[in-house]
Amino acid sequence: MTASTYLRSGKVRDLYAIGDDRLLLVASDRLSAFDVVLPTPIPGKGRVLTGLSRFWFKETSSIVPNHLIGTDPAAIPAGTIPDDVAADVRGRMLLCRRATVLPVEIVVRGYLAGSGWKEYQSTGEVCGVPLPVGLREGDRLPSPILTPATKAEQGQHDENIDYGRMVSEIERVAVRDGTTGSARDLAERVRDVALRLYDAAAARCERAGILLADTKFEMGLAGGELILVDEVLTPDSSRFWDAATWAPGGPQPSYDKQFVRDWLERQPWDKTAPGPELPADVVTGTRARYVEAFERITGADFERYLGEDVLS
């Protein structure tokens, strides 16, 4: 392996260059909460994220193109990644085309929760979007809304922003990529695509008895074309609630990181690195929630996916 093939490690994924035009994303079992990577991994988590992303990239390809090229380890040239990574890459990898990633988190909310609930309590709005008076935590919104956020460096926190700020952030990338048209036109395209993605995913989830409370998309430009990148509609990037137990008026049981966040909120921790070690029951409970989300949404058996890298 040459030193130039390894690019960087994010909160969850490790990124490698495969030639000049492809990237290899390898999902680890690391877990981040409150923008801090915790010291305790969740076994199998990386494969849940990868399997769900693969499923959703296929499901949403008619709405927007995406960066996925393949998932077969045989496509990785020999010697380009460390042996220990290569030995464990099946079911964790996404081989992707390169893109200029937009510098904003494209968040869509269909329900009032998390930072959106906190902002609503203070202002009656979320990211500059006025909402009806009297909503409760966990309420379904009259219609899904786009609530963008900045992208935080590791150890820092995302910041909710309004649509005008999103346009300004996108403008810098559009100019660099050589995209034709205005940044506002591109931002409107981003908003339209994000809302269509949410609607399609929420409908699919509801058929599986799951409510998609909110989700975060990553988008980028490849040759001036808007594409979906990174992961998509996973428990790391979304709030999934059980439709059968949904009861507005407080926090909802979820198939995502909220189980860990709730435990962390009860600890004497200032939400800076390093985070606390997770106890065994929190690890087991988190894994069970991730796996259940995978199986209910995809209809695939997770243990079979672990062994065979298939989604049927």
Helix (H) or strand (E) holding 130: strand 129-130
pLDDT tens sequence across 109-121: 999 999 999 999 9
Would strands 13-18 and 22-27 be described as parallel, antiparallel, or unpaired? Answer: antiparallel
- 3-99+289-301 and 100-263, same CATH topology: no
Distance, CA of 127 to CA of 109 (rounded, Å): 11
Domain ranges of the chain: 3-99+289-301, 100-263
Helix axes 258-265, 280-298, angle to 10 degrees: 160
CATH topology classification for 3-99+289-301 = Phosphorylase Kinase; domain 1 (3.30.200)
Q: What is the CATH number of domain 100-263?
A: 3.30.470.20
Q: How confident is the model at residue 258 (pLDDT cuts 50, 70, 90)?
A: confident
Taking residues 4-22, report their average pLDDT: 88
pTM score of the predicted model: 0.92
Within 13 Å of residue 290, how many CA atoms lie on the same side as its CB?
Answer: 27
Phi, psi of 44 (to 5 degrees): 85, -5
Structure tokens belonging to residue 148? 């963008």
DSSP 8-state assignment for residue 271: S
CA–CA distances in Å: residue 209 to residues 202, 233, 295: 10, 16, 12
pLDDT in tens, 183-233: 888 999 999 999 999 999 999 999 999 999 999 999 999 988 999 999 999
- Residue 262 or 199, more confident: 199
- Of 197, 200, 285, 296, residue with least CA distance to 240: 296
Average pLDDT over residues 254-265: 90
Taking a C-beta distance cutoff of 8 angstroms, is the pair 154, 163 a contact?
no
- The pLDDT value given to residue 206: 97
Is 33:267 a contact under the CB 8 Å cutoff? no
Provide long-range contacts, Cβ within 8 A and 24+ apart, for 19-23.
19/77, 21/97, 21/98, 22/69, 22/95, 22/96, 22/97, 22/98, 23/67, 23/95, 23/96, 23/97, 23/98
**For 174-188, what is each residue's pLDDT tens digit?**
666 556 568 888 999
What's phi and psi for 129, nearest 5 deg? -95, 115
CA dist list (Å): 111 to 98, 129, 191, 301: 33, 13, 17, 29
- Residue 3 pLDDT > 60, yes or no? no
CB 290, CB 42: distance < 8 Å: yes
